[in-house]
Amino acid sequence: MKKLLLALGMTAAATLAPLSQAATYDIDTKGAHAFVQFKIKHLGYSWLLGRFNTFDGQFEYDASAPEKSSIAVEIETASIDSNHAERDKHLKGSDFLNVSKFPTSSFKSTGFKSTGEGEGIISGDFTLHGVTKNISFPVTLVGEGKDPWGGYRAGFEGKTTLKLSDYGITYNLGPASTHVEIELHVEGIRQ
């Protein structure tokens, strides 16, 4: 009887163990289901919007233990796209991103605090223009579930505002253009 109970206990533990572990998700950049976008005021009169076309990353997520969530994203700064070739050339130059010297930007989380079902604050090290700072910003679960191809997906969105001079970008665009809003929309495929 003891052997039967031990066997049942071990089987139950083996069956439940995968449910309590965070799953790894590859961010679906190949399918174009993820976006890193930015928004900055242009001279205080309008908004300039753009995105980074090339980036990659992974995240860990477990709905039953959201505090264990994490993400790591690396962005190729030369992939900036503001829908204007001459402006993009200027943004890639030494006045702004200096992509020849700083070819990547990255975010690697260091912690996550749940603030409600499907919501939380993620903290981590953000590197831009050769400067790394710890930042925190709210993230929201957009949804999760099976996809039509037999896989499982989860999607999140987050938004933060960065002061450009904190990252050594001091080109004067006027007092209304000292901060840039960054939006991260990621859909991941569970591995």
Taking residues 51-71, report their average pLDDT: 95
Mean pLDDT of the chain: 90
User: Domains of the chain by range and CATH?
Assistant: 19-190 (2.40.128.110)
Q: Are 72 and 58 within 8 A, CB to CB?
A: yes
The pLDDT value given to residue 21: 65
Q: Comparing 182 with 19, which gets the higher pLDDT?
A: 182
pTM of the prediction? 0.86
What is the pLDDT, as a whole number, of residue 17?
40
| CA distances for 77 relative to 25, 62, 92, 106, 175, angstroms | 23, 30, 7, 10, 24
pLDDT of residue 177: 94
Q: pLDDT digit string (tens) for 125-149?
A: 999 999 999 999 999 999 999 999 9
- Mean pLDDT score, 139-165: 97
Which pLDDT score is estimated for 14?
40
* Secondary structure element (H or E) that encloses residue 9, with its range: helix 2-16
33-37 mean pLDDT: 97
Enumerate residues 6+ apart whose C-beta is below 8 A from 2.
none
Q: If you average pLDDT over residues 27-48, what whole number do you get?
A: 95
Is 1 a residue whose pLDDT tops 60?
Answer: no
Residue 118 scores a pLDDT above 50:
yes
In percent, the amount of the chain with pLDDT more than 90 equals 86
